[in-house]
Structure 1
């Protein structure tokens, strides 16, 4: 029996003196996944004074979203878009590069797609 894993995990990592938010997406995301992760993101960002967050999104295991989850993702971008200074999307699918370009319309900071994790982290640390 093959188990289908999906969801989002969130963390904080540090390289040198730079901290950044990490998100790892797995499988096909659902509205139920966002009902869990959205309050965590809201809470984490509410505690930061004058937030200008750097984020690394690992989409290497992301298959996509169901329709309602895509809407949830869009709402998070609208709500917190001004709080991100840089977002690096690390992935391995051509559509993820397009998603990064579309995401740049809703995030005040820079957003960039990478197919190499080390390049993504180096860019965040610039």
Structure 2
């Protein structure tokens, strides 16, 4: 499940992932929020917090994430990924060079630092 987070600057799309993330989470929550930010801002920042109870992405959800990301590749400013899940951290480290945005990885204990970083 994806939940949209509040209390971020207007140019930040912020989300928390828990449990199993589905295509419907992307099409009903993430994509509309991100596309709304892209309509009002030239460059957008993204905050992804992945909770300890996260169990994975459905393959269709991964495809939706890819489409949103690549469809607006040059419009990302910063990406903060907050997680304690090793395989996600490793994937962020491995693939971050493909994202033309400043990308940083934070632990869940560093979520306040991540929020401050994405907001400035």
Per the alignment, residue 74 of structure 2 pairs with 82
TM-score by length of 2: 0.78
Looking at structure 2, the residues matched to 97 and 119 of structure 1 have their Cα atoms a distance apart, in angstroms, of 17
Per the alignment, residue 93 of structure 2 pairs with 101
TM-score by length of 1: 0.75
How big is each residue's C-alpha offset from its partner over 1:11-36, in whole Å with a ceiling of 9 and x where there is no partner?
Answer: 44237xx8532111111111222221
Residue ranges of structure 2 left out of the alignment (5+ in a row): none
Per the alignment, residue 119 of structure 1 pairs with 113
The RMSD of aligned alpha carbons is 2.4
Per the alignment, residue 48 of structure 1 pairs with 40
Per the alignment, residue 10 of structure 1 pairs with 4
40, 65, 69: which is aligned to 2:61?
69
CA contact (8 A) 1:8 1:23 kept: yes
Looking at structure 2, the residues matched to 86 and 76 of structure 1 have their Cα atoms a distance apart, in angstroms, of 15
Q: Which has the larger radius of gyration?
A: 1
Looking at structure 2, the residues matched to 99 and 62 of structure 1 have their Cα atoms a distance apart, in angstroms, of 15
Higher relative contact order by CA 8 Å / sep ≥ 6: 1 or 2? 2
How many equivalent residue pairs?
117
Per-residue deviation at 1:122? 3.2
CA contact (8 A) 2:19 2:56 kept: yes
Higher strand share: 1
**2:50 paired with 1:59:** yes
Per the alignment, residue 3 of structure 1 pairs with none
SS at match of 2:84: coil
Per-residue deviation at 1:87? 0.7
